[in-house]
A and B are shown apart, each in its own frame.
Chain A
Amino acid sequence: MLQRILHLIVKELLAVWRDRRSRVVLIAPPLLQLFIFANAVTQEVRNVHIAVLNRDWSQDSRELISRFRMTPTFTEIVALRDESEIAPAIDAQRAVMVMEIGPDFSRRLAAGQAPDLGFILDGRRSNTAQIVEGYATSIVQQFAAERGVRAPPGASRAQLVTRAWFNPNLEARWNTVPSLIAILTALIGLLVTGLSIAREREFGTFEQLLVSPLRPIEILIGKTVPALIIGLIEGTVIVLAGAFIFGVPFRGSVALLYVGMIVYLLAIIGVGLFISSLAMTQQQAVLGAFTFQAPAVTLSGFATPISNMPDWLQTVTMANPLRHFLVIVKGVLLKDMPPDEVARNLVPMVVIAAVTLTVATWFFRRRLQ
């Protein structure tokens, strides 16, 4: 029996490799996505354009503006002449923020009072605008503090000092590249399994497989293991690219990462086999994979945090294997996550894998009869 399964595995790997279309699908899109994602997908805010209306023409206000010029966050600082120019600058998105320096700016600064200054933000990009506002406020506060602005009498002098653990400079890539390990291996696992049965159907070899002495469970194992192998290889390539090309740290245990990756891939492969048993053509399989992948990525905590979602949807995301593996992969790479925490995220994935593989087997058997 082992012998037979082994033959099937080798045959499956060769089939994937020999088919030009499968080869292209498995190699080109993931690599393209790795490089585009790793470079473009950044919520870190740099090089944005802001505008300044300076109604204080003093040395102080000019110095404050030059502070803004020195940071990489702001590349272009448009000088506005009067108030009537504020609305056009925001409306036409020439600036995501307008800083309005009031006529009393330097006088109040000299008197040790809070600066006469305001920001106007573009709500069409409120996420970016809020981050820009945060940077701008800290620049102004630091400037004021250096000029000896004291807190008003009786005020508390509490200050918030923030440090980021695990990623002190808040590098976007340290988040994106580990997430891509999860996203792209899932894509591969889905496509390899999704396409495999559909391909046999299209080529008419599926019937041959059915009349062979292989039992359905053996066929399924023969379809699962190659996808697992290809998924692990692709995952390893991204881990290595992350470490050596993108400079992402690897602080935890390699073994824990791979245990997680295997369970995760099994859960995904179950979904892929399920799609495969439904799809009649390879094109339908690709669409099916996409229909699963898009919400799985969106609701995984990759782009926006899960805690921002409504409670009922947070519960739904528990069934998403991506959500759990994302915690493991980021935890192992960036946080040196201890084994018990990894295990805690592994359990739901084991359950998901058991369910998806069982359902896939059941569907597959039914299709055979």
Chain B
Amino acid sequence: MLRDPSALLIAVGLPLLFLFMFGYGVSFDLRRTAICVVTEQPVPVVASLAAGLADSPYFDVRRVPDRRLCEPDLVAGRIAGMVVVSADFAARLARGEAAPIQAIVDGSDPNTAALVQNYLDAAIANWQAQETLAAGGLRQANSPQSRVWFNQEIDSRHFLLPGLVAIVMALIGTMLTALVVAREWERGTMEAMLSTPAAIGELILGKLIPYFALGMAGMAVSVACAVFLFGVPFRGSVLILIGTSSVFLIAMLGLGLMISTLARSQFVASQAAIVGTFLPALLLSGLLFEIESMPWPIQWLTRILPARYFVQILQTLFLTGNTARIILPGTLAMAAIGAAYFAVVVRNTRTRLD
């Protein structure tokens, strides 16, 4: 197996690449996002508002006196939005009237636009509370208080990296198995082995044990990186992690075998493994995109993806703990799906040989 560079790439190269990308490159948390603050009239209250925004770690503020100076930057995508404080803002505020501050966000990236809007809301509420306090007013929360459980620092890595474990295992379990076993079919060595007296069951078991070991090693490395390198907490039980990972990995190996048995060629198997297993594990597992927001046919489709259950289990094990109501149904579902894959493999192998 190690003689083929593509096997080595899948078993070692790709998992490391994904670990690196998710550890450093993928983040939903705003960090020094460039915005413009347009202050049409430089009065103290406006200056304090702009300073409040500039102090925030989420924004990188450029101050300009006229919004026309920033509009080209918004079109070019160099800034994510602008905050316009109109000339009569201070006067309205002094008269006790409602004083609107206009925020213009770049809708061409709707997710960032929504985030920027939320962060701006919070930053301005914060500034107002301070102003009120400074003016001798009562400090009072105007907006409802929120608490975020399991992830107080609201670090998106805390939910992305646990999910990544599922992706690494899917890569090793499915792509590697699909490719290597497809090669045996191509070369005819699979048929040769199947004609020996060893039962199909034994053979499958023998074939899968090395990939099982590789997959579990991939899991261990990803979990260790998440916990020790990126500081994601692990609040569940290691035994449950090993148990549920085994069930998921066996299901993935079954899928890999199924693809190779149906495809019988490395080229088709590599395509099917990418389109049929890797992309769904990344896109439809609820890791990056909310399943509840997808249209119902796709939501239904996610129910037959083991990755969907495993991502949820992993996030729970890392951040919440041993919640039986997530772990048990998920494990059962993965076991059932895995059994179905193996049933297809056994059936197809038999008919193929007869």
Contacts and interface: CB of A to CB of B under 8 A. Distances in A.
B290 A125 contact: yes
Given A158-B101, A159-B100, A36 B289 contact: no
Interface residues of A, number: 103
Given A47-B292, A124-B315, A172 B110 contact: yes
Interface in B31-79: 31-34, 45, 49, 72, 74-77
B140 A44 contact: no
Contacts of A313: 24-25
Contact of A287 (B10, B27, B114, B135): B10
B108 A155 contact: no
Interface stretch (A53-61, A224-232, A292-300): A292-300
Interface in A103-156: 113-115, 117-131, 133-134, 136-137, 140-141, 151-156
Given A123-B149, A331-B76, A163 B103 contact: yes
Interface residues of B, number: 110
B269 to A, nearest CB: 8
A257 B142 CA distance: 47
Nearest to B289: A41
A281 B76 CA distance: 42
Contacts of B295: 39-40
Given A165-B104, A331-B77, A338-B75, A299 B274 contact: no
Contacts of A287: 6, 9-10, 270
28 contacts: A44-B111, A45-B290, A91-B316, A91-B320, A114-B140, A118-B145, A122-B148, A124-B315, A126-B148, A126-B159, A130-B118, A131-B114, A155-B131, A156-B132, A157-B92, A160-B101, A160-B103, A162-B102, A164-B107, A164-B110, A175-B111, A287-B9, A291-B13, A299-B21, A303-B26, A307-B34, A335-B75, A335-B108
Closest CB pairs A-B (n = 6): A123-B151, A167-B107, A154-B137, A164-B107, A123-B150, A43-B111
Interface of A: 21, 25, 29, 32-33, 36-37, 39-49, 75, 88, 90-93, 113-115, 117-131, 133-134, 136-137, 140-141, 151-168, 170-172, 174-175, 178, 281-284, 286-287, 290-291, 294-295, 298-299, 301, 303-305, 307-310, 313, 327, 330-331, 334-338, 341, 344
